[in-house]
Amino acid sequence: MKLEVNEHGFFGEFGGAYVPEMLYPNVTELQERYLEITSERQFQEEFDELLKNFAGRPTPLFHAQRLSEEYGCTVLLKREDLLHTGAHKINNTIGQILLAKRLGKRRIIAETGAGQHGVATATVCALMGMPCVVYMGEVDIKRQALNVGRMRLLGAEVRSVTSGSKTLKDATNEAMRDWIANPHDTHYIIGSVVGPHPFPDMVARFQSVISAEMKEQCLARDGKLPTHVIACVGGGSNAMGGFFHFIGEPSVQLIGVEAAGHGVSSGRSAATIALGREGILHGSRTLFMQTDDGQVEEAHSISAGLDYPGIGPQHAHLHVSGRVHYVQVTDEDALRGAKVLSRREGIIPALETAHAVAHLSRMSFKPTDRVVVVISGRGDKDMGTYLEAFGERISDDV
């Protein structure tokens, strides 16, 4: 199977660009130019150079021996947690700021929930000397003081959004409003494979470096492709990056892990694929959690990065076509996954990543299986949650 976007921005029945008329000029400009610009040799050289010497690519593919023994297969960890700013998000923000410069933009805006995408955006804006405005809900600003401080230290202006539920979706609305008001000089850096065409395809291409490296690293190890690739899915960018070059390799099983929160049917989850129905969310046709009358439902996950009621259109298509298998992992199991990776391999993962790790224990493998887990980010930002959740038992074994 191939995963190619058609000229209208669709992956099968999902995707497209459902935007208000006032956004047409911005979105159309991007649609018309992103492929031409990103395939220029000079663009690619500059992108590769920054990925290498600023972000720290290629990231290692680490053979996790103790986990391999525990699960009876070869477990390989793709170490995106070692990148600058602590997660895969920097791959995308580097790509988009280079594109923005070539489009002649002088100002960057972004939205952020937990603050990770805001930090990655503020980082590349500092690097390029571009002014940066990050929209963030008032509630999230209070919850994520450390990331707000990082963005400010990097020179970004963090604008508090006080409308609606004062969280991510309201911040997204404000960013859209800003973009409409500043169509000529501003680029909006979206942080995952979501939003109107061309964002899902563009972000997937920038993140596809993850699977390009994985493929090369696996072949260099033993001349074979992996048998499984496992990644967590919030909006879906680290997973798309990890799956991208394996979608056309039917021997590779692809598994996306979404957040089940308190349980898939608890009413407190972010299990978009399990619970979602088709509709239009943030400019594209996709699956998202909605009420009977089609309103967006609030998502819940212990990890802020998975706490999103929708998923990118590629994932909706990969689910419906059966190419990717999507599973759900609860808050409690994710916490256990975080502890397992910390204790067995000396790697404290982000809570998002811990969902992917946790799923390993629920699968059965053959000794010849080669399983790659995308370690999307590191756990420093989640230490407060870990301390609170484990309490006195933080040093107990698992």
> Which residues make up the interface to ligand PLP (CB under 6 A)?
87, 89, 116, 192, 232-239, 305-306, 350, 352-353, 376-377
Active site residue 376: yes
CA distances, 89 to each of 92, 164, 271 (Å): 6, 27, 22
Active site residue 224: no
| Shortest distance in whole angstroms from residue 239 CB to ligand PLP | 6
| Annotated catalytic residue, options 78, 80, 89, 211 | 89
Beta pairing partners, 371: 75, 228
- What token pair was written down for 15? 């995707």
| Shortest distance in whole angstroms from residue 187 CB to ligand PLP | 19
| Shortest distance in whole angstroms from residue 145 CB to ligand PLP | 17
Closer residue to ligand PLP (CB): 30 or 87: 87
Between helix 89-102 and helix 24-38 the angle, nearest 10°, is 100
| Annotated catalytic residue, options 80, 342, 376, 381 | 376
| Shortest distance in whole angstroms from residue 248 CB to ligand PLP | 21
SS3 content of the chain, % helix, strand, coil (to 5): 50, 20, 30
Structural Rg of the chain based on CA atoms? 20
Closer residue to ligand PLP (CB): 207 or 227: 207
- What token pair was written down for 328? 């759900």
**Secondary structure letter of residue 86 according to DSSP:** G
Active site residue 111: yes
Residue nearest to ligand PLP (CB): 377
Closer residue to ligand PLP (CB): 331 or 369: 331
| Shortest distance in whole angstroms from residue 116 CB to ligand PLP | 4
DSSP per-residue letters across 247-290: TT-TTSEEEEEEEEET-TTSS--B-HHHH-EEEEETTEEEEE-B
Exposed, middle or buried, 396 (CB in 10 Å: 0-12/13-18/19+)? exposed
| Annotated catalytic residue, options 111, 174, 345, 352 | 111
Closer residue to ligand PLP (CB): 109 or 357: 357
Closer residue to ligand PLP (CB): 202 or 350: 350
Q: What positions carry a catalytic annotation?
A: 89, 111, 376
